[in-house]
A = this chain, B = another copy of it.
Amino acid sequence: MTETLSNTTFEELTPGRAAEYTRRVEERDIDLFAAVSGDVNPVHLDEAFAADTVFRRRVAHGMLTGAFVSAALGTVMPGPGTIYLGQTLRFQRPVHIGDTLTVRLEVTARREDKGIVTIACEVTNQDAESVASGDATVLAPAERRVVPRPATPRFERKP
C-alpha cells in the first residue's frame, strides 16, 4: 500500500483550525543542514567553539526549525497544492541535539478574495518551551488533492 499525502483546502482552513508536526533533532540533522545551506558557523559544528559560548554546547541552526515549519505546511496543513508566500520567525531558545520539536500550526486569518491564509506557527521542545514562533502566509489549495507520498531522499554520511 502506498502512503498518501492529502491537503486541506482554502474552504476548510477556517480560523482556529490546527495541526501539528513533530520531529527529533539528531546530530545528523545539524550536519545535513550545514551541508545543504553551507552554514558551517562553528557554534553548530564545533563542540569546542560552542563550549566557549553562552550556549555551552552545539546548537541547531535557527533555520533548521524554519525547515520543520516548512515541512509542517508542505506535508500536514495545508499540504500539496500550497504556495508559500512568506514567513516570520523569532528564535526564542536554543535547540540542541536530542531535542524533540513540535510545530503547531493554527489558522488565524484568511482573505476570501485572494485565497490567502495566515497561519500562526509555534515550535516547542519536549519541555513545552517555545523555541521559535511566527506567522506563515500561504496561497491555500483551492482543490482537494490526494497524492502518493514521495519517498524521503536518503543520504549517507561520508567520513
Contacts and interface: CB of A to CB of B under 8 A. Distances in A.
A89 B90 CA distance: 12
A82 B43 CA distance: 9
A98 to B, nearest CB: 16
A18 interface: no
Interface in A110-159: 134, 147-159
A61 B66 contact: no
A84 B67 contact: no
A69 interface: yes
Interface string A48-64: 01000110000001111
A108 interface: no
Contacts of A63: 63, 66-67, 69-70, 84, 87
Given A49-B80, A90-B85, A71 B32 contact: no
Those 6 A-B pairs whose CB atoms lie nearest each other, nearest first: A41-B74, A37-B67, A31-B153, A39-B71, A32-B36, A63-B70
Interface of A: 5, 21, 23, 29, 31-46, 49, 53-54, 61-64, 66-71, 74-75, 79-91, 134, 147-159
22 contacts: A5-B40, A23-B38, A29-B36, A31-B155, A32-B36, A33-B36, A35-B152, A37-B64, A37-B67, A38-B71, A38-B152, A39-B74, A40-B71, A40-B75, A41-B75, A41-B82, A43-B80, A44-B74, A61-B70, A67-B67, A85-B91, A154-B157
